Amino acid sequence: MLERHILKLQARAPVLAEYEQALGELISETRDYAADQIVVPAYVEQVHSTLLLEGFMCRYKDLADGRRQITQVHVPGDFVDLHSFTLKYLDQDVMTLTPVKVALFPHEGLRQVTERYPALARIYWFNTNLDAAIHREWELSLGRRKARARIAMLLSELQVRLGIVGLGDDAGFDFPLTQVEIGECTGLTNVHVNRTVRELREAGVAELRRGRADILDKAALWREAEFDPRYLYLQKRER
Amino acid sequence: MLERHILKLQARAPVLAEYEQALGELISETRDYAADQIVVPAYVEQVHSTLLLEGFMCRYKDLADGRRQITQVHVPGDFVDLHSFTLKYLDQDVMTLTPVKVALFPHEGLRQVTERYPALARIYWFNTNLDAAIHREWELSLGRRKARARIAMLLSELQVRLGIVGLGDDAGFDFPLTQVEIGECTGLTNVHVNRTVRELREAGVAELRRGRADILDKAALWREAEFDPRYLYLQKRER
DNA sequence: CGCCCAATTGAAGACGCTCAAGGCTTGTGG
DNA sequence: CCACAAGCCTTGAGCGTCTTCAATTGGGCG
């Protein structure tokens, strides 16, 4: 059940079989949710963290007028709210983008296992930092990249992150976000997303249709985005 | 020397006198830098983390054409690159905005002290999460807030963060960023920052001049920004 | 006094937004 | 099996926020 999570961790550090077993035993429950459901509401105390097993989820913040900013997209293998282990409540909502399957990890169990295996605690601390690094790259996109580059960036990042967990390759990946949601990730309106997606298609860079992203020219995509994957910290090393 | 750092930590969790002493003993060196100097270059392996004692610093990423996005502003008491302890190298540059004084903490010493005091490790893990929470609020600003709200947000956040470490009050705070730098925080050009700052002044909300931010109407400033300080996690509790 | 950097202002233009309408796909029910 | 509804995608037109380019003003410091 944890294969994808372990793949994600292993992309950055060695993971002992022991950890995988200990983690598996922590799971208190698995749940299924439909699309567009809030799974972890903001400002509510949490007693467990949620690992995404299948499907797509996101975290977002919004303004009074309802305009929404997605701050992170989650793929299978990600903890969607590991930070609730440390922060207790979240400063944002976590919702599903597609139907999903998740596993719940009680914080008390996480506390025990991270005390028993300090190396695992370091791995999760590292993951918190990785999360922040992705936020920073998004800040750069939102603040300084133009529309084409923002969308190219999003596609580049997701291609790499999905590839790690076996859900994508150089040709592309399943990508169920609507154009409204892509706009909520990139700080654009759906109308402008639509026009920009068309530009990328007409330039032979990438093609988006109904739940699928085809990467036609990965080098061009990376160039368009000025994508430098070092912020994803993919070299495996001791942490 | 660590008073401001301890004030920052104490705003979120109890800090034992023991920790303060142990931390103080870790400092290998203090250094002074002039303004506009890179202190921690991106993608270079680090063996210590840097605590800001006096002055302002920032972290930023930039694009090929030189346009820069500041991803975080640091005030005295902040670790500017605590994440290098876990990540080893940074995905961004860290520079000074004013002349500063910093203290260096060797990673080896941090490793020892966090192993000796697991509660301190949790406090720093928490701080990593706080850092990410601030990044998320900035993502919301950059993606969805209008120019006035972005600048109001920046001022609101800094007023709170500086207040915690005794460097500001309800009337305002010393704020040495140039309008170019404010633009680099908020994803705007210096020209538009200038016009927006004028609007805030004419609306009687806040006044910026030569190194000082006067908050004329804090309630109006918070309203303008839709500022909700919960993302700064200021309730003190066990971590 | 004069230099330098930051702040300020004006004018024109671009990128992305808003509003509005129409088209396509998918699923559902008769 | 077809009709229809719902949701998403697509396109057009006009507009607004913010940018770009350029020039001027103001303040601090040697």
Q: With an 8 Å Cβ cutoff, is A68 touching chain B?
A: yes
Residues B215, B99, single domain; the answer is no
Domain count along chain A: 2
> Nearest Cα to B35, choosing from B176, B169, B229?
B176
Does B233 sit within 8 Å of A133, measured CB to CB? no
pLDDT per position as a tens digit, A48-60 = 999 999 999 999 9
Alpha carbon distance B84, B87 (integer Å) = 5
Residue B168 structure tokens: 């500001």
Residues B12, B36, single domain; the answer is yes
Domain boundary pick from B78, B103, B136: B136
Kindly report the nearest CA distance between residue A195 and chain B, in angstroms: 18
Residue A238, in any domain of the structure: no
Contact B119, B81 (CB under 8 A): no
Residue A125, in any domain of the structure: yes
Q: Minimum mean pLDDT among A155-169, A192-206, B15-29, B214-228: which range?
A: B15-29
Given a cut of 50, the residues of chain A with pLDDT beneath it are none
Residue A47, in any domain of the structure: yes
How many Cα atoms sit within 13 Å of A87 on the Cβ side?
A: 26
Residues B65, B45, single domain; the answer is yes
Task: Estimate in Å the CA B109 to C1' C1 gap, whole number.
Answer: 55
Domain boundary pick from A134, A151, A169: A134
By C1' distance from the Cα of A209, the closest nucleotide is D9
Residue A17, in any domain of the structure: yes
Q: Among A118, A136, A142, whose Cβ lies nearest the Cβ of B91?
A: A136
Residue B62 burial class via C-beta count within 10 angstroms: exposed 0-12, middle 13-18, buried 19 and up: middle
CA A162 from chain center: how many Å? 9
- Taking contacts as CB-CB distances below 8 angstroms, the residues of chain B near A135 are 132, 135-136, 139
**pLDDT score recorded for residue B239:** 65
Which of B80, B136, B188, B238 is the best mutation test for A, with the most CBs of A within 10 A?
Answer: B136
Residue A16: how many other CB atoms lie within 10 Å: 11
Footprint on protein of nucleic strand C, Cβ below 7 A? A 146-148, 187-189, 191-192, 196, 210; B 178-180, 190-191, 194-195, 197-198, 209-210
Does B231 sit within 8 Å of A139, measured CB to CB? no
Residues B14, B94, single domain; the answer is yes
Residues A15, A59, single domain; the answer is yes
pLDDT per position as a tens digit, B65-93 = 989 999 999 999 999 999 999 999 999 99
**pLDDT score recorded for residue B13:** 87
Residue B238, in any domain of the structure: no
Alpha carbon distance B215, B156 (integer Å) = 9
Q: With an 8 Å Cβ cutoff, is A128 touching chain B?
A: yes
Residues B129, B150, single domain; the answer is no
Task: Estimate in Å the CA A210 to C1' C25 gap, whole number.
Answer: 9
Contact partners, residue A124, CB within 8 Å, separation at least 6: A82, A85, A114
Domain boundary pick from A83, A108, A134: A134
The residue that leads in pLDDT, B16 or A98, is A98
**pLDDT score recorded for residue B234:** 93
Q: What is the CATH number of the domain that holds B92?
A: 2.60.120.10
Does A68 sit within 8 Å of B139, measured CB to CB? no
Residues 210-239 of A with CB under 8 A from B: 226, 230-231, 233, 237, 239
**pLDDT score recorded for residue B23:** 93
Residue A130 burial class via C-beta count within 10 angstroms: exposed 0-12, middle 13-18, buried 19 and up: buried
Q: Return the number of CB contacts < 8 Å for A and B.
A: 125
Domain extent, residue A125, equals 3-134
Q: What is the DSSP letter of A216?
A: S
Q: Among A61, A88, A140, whose Cβ lies nearest the Cβ of B61?
A: A140
Task: Estimate in Å the CA B161 to C1' D10 gap, whole number.
Answer: 46
Q: With an 8 Å Cβ cutoff, is A126 touching chain B?
A: yes
Residues 144-163 of B with CB under 8 A from A: 144-145
Which residue is closest to B91 within chain A, CA to CA?
A: A231
The most distant pair of C-alpha atoms in chain B lies apart, rounded to whole Å, by 54
Residue A31, in any domain of the structure: yes
Residues B157, B112, single domain; the answer is no
Residue B234 burial class via C-beta count within 10 angstroms: exposed 0-12, middle 13-18, buried 19 and up: exposed
Residues B127, B63, single domain; the answer is yes
Residues B111, B171, single domain; the answer is no
By C1' distance from the Cα of A177, the closest nucleotide is D8
Does A128 sit within 8 Å of B132, measured CB to CB? yes
Residue B214, in any domain of the structure: yes
Q: With an 8 Å Cβ cutoff, is B129 touching chain A?
A: yes
Residue B78, in any domain of the structure: yes
Q: Among A132, A137, A145, whose Cβ lies nearest the Cβ of B132?
A: A132
Q: With an 8 Å Cβ cutoff, is B86 touching chain A?
A: yes
Residues B59, B122, single domain; the answer is yes
Q: With an 8 Å Cβ cutoff, is B135 touching chain A?
A: yes
- Taking contacts as CB-CB distances below 8 angstroms, the residues of chain B near A131 are 132
Task: Estimate in Å the CA A113 to C1' D4 gap, whole number.
Answer: 56
Residues B37, B105, single domain; the answer is yes
Residues B90, B17, single domain; the answer is yes
- Taking contacts as CB-CB distances below 8 angstroms, the residues of chain B near A151 are none
**What distances in angstroms separate CA B129 from CA A89, A220, B136, one per listed residue?**
11, 34, 11
